[in-house]
Amino acid sequence: MKGGTVQINWHDTKPVLTVDFHPLSGTLATGGADYDIKLWLINSGEAQKEGPTASYQNSLSYHGSAVNILRFSPSGELLASGADGGELIIWKLHPTDTGQTWKVFKSLSFHRKDVLDLQWSADGAFLISGSVDNSSIIWDVNKGSVHQILDSHFHYVQGVAWDPLAKYVASLSSDRTCRIYINKPHTKAKGMEKMNYVCQHVITKAEQPTGDDSKSVKSHLFHDETLPSFFRRLAWSPDGSFLLVPAGSSKISPASQPVNTAYIFSRKDLSRPALHLPGASKPVVAVRFCPIIFSLRGSNPAAFFKLPYRLIFAVVTLNSLYIYDTESVPPIAILAGLHYAAITDITWSPDGRYLALSSQDGYCTLLEFELDELGSPISLSEKKAMVHEKQSPVQKPEDMVIDASRSDSVAADSTKIEARKNEGKQVSPSSTITPISNKSAKRRITPMAIDP
């Protein structure tokens, strides 16, 4: 793995608030406080044994305020961008004589205040957005209209996520709750069904035993509105087997101090977290899954995740990056002290080769992974074997569960591993990339099962 903070003029030195890779071409899109969306070509530094670089392609100028979030549709044909003041624009890719160009396709108007997060449905027909107006909105993209308003939160909705299997959507708010909505379609005329999401779970507090069997204390699971970030970007795994939620604040015991964490919810039970990832010295603000599904390495039969393949995901705090593998317990890499200001967003390239993150200091960090460094992508024959053995996550995602029965064998190590001297400083990537083996050790972040 090579890379680091790229010292180029991304958005006129103003904060970069969002990043996303095109799902086909691998073009990187960035949005910032200069009201612009910029497109970049990522150049490998492997031949020169250096980090990757970015070269400017063109800008999409239409917004009249800071661009907080942008996401490409699964097909890559559309791009959605949300900005301050409730602006939400859909861009469409058009062929030209010299190549392709993006043009405004639709303007979606209903949010009264800043749009902070959005995500596409797997089929690209719908979009969900979260806003400072305390609501989430599901949009019918083709019609350019509101399909459904989810307005149960009492404060800013700072993160939204759409289940790739289309059964759930999730939202995360600074009111300290994560809400899980389930699709219960309305039956229309002629037997047709209309998508309709209703709140199934409100996750806000967890009970902590006090030592007295008859008593327990409830504590909040998430940070309040004082979290120094406008973003709490949550994500579903690409197979839909679990949901990863940032902005966690967990207590190991009622008397202990809260620790920063991200929660993992198993699809089998979305009413409560199954695991959490404690130990970061700063709050977790965003999570993102690598889109590639990898073959098992067989290196850790005692892994928490009972999956017939490996998933890799990134967790970012205000100043650090952690990369996890579902077949290992501790993170496989840690980068600290990357930026002078808060990290805002993170994205993987479609081939899993690049990882990009943005920051309010006006710069982006690019990482490049060597061939097979993260492992081998799952083969077509392996996919066919899973289907034959009924292990396909599309057929039975509830079977892809998290084993929370080994909580006694995993230390609840919430030690802050980033060096205090690195906080708030930019340091060279070579000094901050920390590969970690699968062997158990102290002073490492380890996933921790949460007892029922």
Q: DSSP state, 408?
A: G
What is the distance in angstroms between the CA of the first residue and the CA of the last residue of the chain? Answer: 38
Residue 383 confidence (pLDDT): 61
Q: Strand, helix or coil at 46?
A: coil
Give the residue carrying structure tokens 């083969």.
379
Q: Of the segments 198-212, 316-330, 412-426, which one has the largest average pLDDT value?
A: 316-330
pLDDT score of 442: 31
Q: Is 423's pLDDT higher than 70?
A: no
Of 315, 288, 158, the closest CA to residue 227 belongs to 158
Lowest mean pLDDT among 188-197, 289-298, 439-448: 439-448
Q: What is the mean pLDDT of residues 206-217?
A: 70
pLDDT of residue 394 exceeding 50, the answer is no
As to burial, measured by CB atoms within 10 angstroms (0-12 exposed, 13-18 middle, 19+ buried), residue 49 is exposed
Asked if pLDDT for residue 231 goes beyond 60, the answer is yes
Residue-level pLDDT at 25: 95
Q: What is the mean pLDDT of the chain?
A: 85
Q: Which range, of 160-169, 181-190, 199-208, 386-395, averages the lowest pLDDT?
A: 386-395
Where residue 426 falls among pLDDT bands split at 50, 70, 90? very low
Q: Highest mean pLDDT: which of 325-329, 374-378, 410-414, 432-436?
A: 374-378
User: Can you give the pLDDT at residue 399?
Assistant: 52
Predicted confidence at residue 263, as pLDDT, reads 96
Q: What is the average per-residue pLDDT within 26-54?
A: 94
Residue 356 pLDDT > 60 = yes
Q: Check whether 236 has a pLDDT greater than 70.
A: yes
